[in-house]
Chain A
């Protein structure tokens, strides 16, 4: 169900306005606080809920993962690189928490340094493959390219 804002927690910083993919989080013209201008168009993507630095935005969760009336709250802690969820049933007895990593490296440090990469050679430029595209991804008419045929193996865990 759509997002709503706790007005006393919102400081009108604009993070939710900036991130909403449906452009429906806007600033109220009377109080200069955020609000959902079109709840029917909200996808419940939780982008604004996670982006709010004051946890001022909440969503009422559907009955397909907990009985109605429950509370589902999320805290995306970027400085720690984790996301924490908490689902509390309406009787208050069932209270579940989840904590998971959302990055393993400091933000902005996992990008490939393209300026330092070698200039593509002639055959690479003529190839239909994209730059640095792993060969095992490419379709080949003569044979099926696999990790094994390319001498690779799958790595476990999150890696860049």
Chain B
């Protein structure tokens, strides 16, 4: 099953042109949904107004070279390794779903458009791996670490609008795997299961269409906005505005100790590491 391209068998039912057109329509829906979402929430307006406000209270100017360095740091930390998450479990789950989604979507497009570029078997393996990663990260998040469940005490089956993205994401991956499994077994002669195969293909199609067509109402567009917000956060820290937050003092600095004499008096000249405080426990005391 893992080396079999499910779209090859599907081409007997639906022509490759139709499949390619479907992918183009989904890409247009994502782009359109993101633009509409940006216009509706006025995200770009807020972003630029906030940047202007931060610039007014900046204590130093950040050069273009330094900005490029910050962009590289955002790419390495926030984008590629989801370093903005304070909770390690959420970070791992996010990495699984993010890389699973990328592998799944890219391999789907390649299998339908350019299967000659990479060996079909390799592409099929990537496609299945992506779907499994999506399921692992998605279900872990959904049942255990979703903040509604973990901190609010809501039941896992209580659906809200914020769930459109995650639910359509893991149902897409789940139905894709079931469809692939049924189709693979159908190819081996179990003709009676062909009806079930089509049914799960329809479920896969519905989930997938919901995922890409609901950008305006779902959290899909966060993947484009988050890097911009992370860059703005780093620039604000570098230029000294930092939302007017207090300075991050070095407690061992004699100048700091002279300015705040309580520090050496009660904590000593070299204060020890105090540990994680309230973050020693997960925030689930509902």
Contacts and interface: CB of A to CB of B under 8 A. Distances in A.
A31 B162 contact: yes
B219 A32 contact: yes
B109 interface: no
Contacts of B161: 29-30
Q: Is the interface of A mostly helix, strand, loop or mixed?
A: loop
Interface string B247-280: 1110100001001101101110001111111111
A11 B251 contact: no
Contact of B275 (A82, A107, A157): A107
A85 B276 CA distance: 20
Interface in B128-173: 146-148, 150-152, 160-162
Given A9-B233, A14-B147, A17-B151, A79 B284 contact: no
B274 A81 contact: yes
B273 to A, nearest CB: 6
A29 B152 CA distance: 12
A106 interface: yes
B21 interface: no
B196 interface: no
Contacts of B263: 82, 99-101
Nearest to A74: B246
Contact of A26 (B152, B246, B259, B274): B152
Contacts of B146: 32
A75 B90 CA distance: 23
A91 to B, nearest CB: 11
A27 B152 contact: yes
Q: With a 10 A CB-CB cut-off, give which of B225, B248, B267 has the most chain A CB atoms.
A: B267
A103 B229 CA distance: 34
B87 interface: yes
Interface in B33-83: 46-47, 50, 57
Contact of A73 (B84, B232, B243, B278): B243
A14 B283 contact: yes
B283 A79 contact: no
Contact of B271 (A78, A81, A88): A81
A12 B160 CA distance: 15
Contact of A18 (B151, B162, B233, B248): B151
A99 B249 contact: yes
Contacts of A101: 262-263, 266-267, 271
Interface of A: 6, 8-9, 11-15, 17-19, 26-32, 51, 53-55, 58, 71, 73-75, 77-82, 84-86, 88, 92, 97-101, 103-108, 157-158
